[in-house]
Copies of this chain bind each other. A is one copy, B any other.
């Protein structure tokens, strides 16, 4: 069938022992030479397995001391923050984007400070629809110095997030997730009551030290949730 690589098998077995509780945090795992004998392979093979686990934060390795099961102090979860258009399409639902405003301007001094941008910015607002229902209200600023092309893009057809992901890929990013009461403008755009709960996602992405874009999305509470996973099945 599928001959699994040996280093992967070793990795998986040790991971299983950790997740299964046979190995507990602080426990020492056999040294490389011992595992090497146990599996009858070279040290590099064992090393690859252990390095991978150490990379995941599951092992802590100290020279001369050995390899130890790490403390799961802060569960690092993998959160998928997909492009909305793609995510909704992937769920087999219909998607629509409504551009409600678009303007180019120099950011106000305070904003420029917060954005870390002195250049001109494109400001966009709009609404994401799923199955014909408003799902999220989006306010976005885009640094035109870094992404001049977007000034010519037709953002009434393509939501800016989708355009950016296709044209300015692999930026660094930070997301802040919180809950808020819908402000008037948001409530009106989403057709919900003022003050109704919203999941708010604020994202800032950069290239090097320059901010590329800054988004704030208000999701209608009942219609969206984020999922984060941790674990070997974490795929």
- List A residues at the B interface (Cβ < 8 Å): 18-21, 24-25, 52, 55, 58, 69, 71-83, 86-87, 165, 168-181, 195-200, 206-208, 219, 221-222, 224-234
> In the bound complex, do residue B199 and residue A230 qualify as a contact, i.e. CB atoms below 8 Å apart?
no
Q: Which residues of B contact A229 (CB under 8 A)?
A: 172-175
> In the bound complex, do residue B179 and residue A179 qualify as a contact, i.e. CB atoms below 8 Å apart?
yes
Assembly CA distance A80 to B69 (angstroms): 19
Q: Which residues of B contact A78 (CB under 8 A)?
A: 76-79
How many copies of this protein are present in the complex? 2
> In the bound complex, do residue A82 and residue B86 qualify as a contact, i.e. CB atoms below 8 Å apart?
no
Closest to A82 in B: B74
> In the bound complex, do residue A18 and residue B71 qualify as a contact, i.e. CB atoms below 8 Å apart?
no
Decide yes or no: A181 and B25 within 8 Å by CB, A227-B175, A227-B176 being known contacts.
Answer: no
A-B contact pairs, 25 of them (CB 8 A): A19-B207, A19-B208, A21-B169, A69-B170, A73-B86, A74-B87, A75-B81, A75-B173, A77-B79, A77-B173, A77-B175, A79-B228, A171-B231, A172-B229, A172-B232, A173-B231, A174-B229, A175-B229, A176-B227, A177-B228, A178-B225, A179-B200, A180-B222, A197-B198, A199-B199
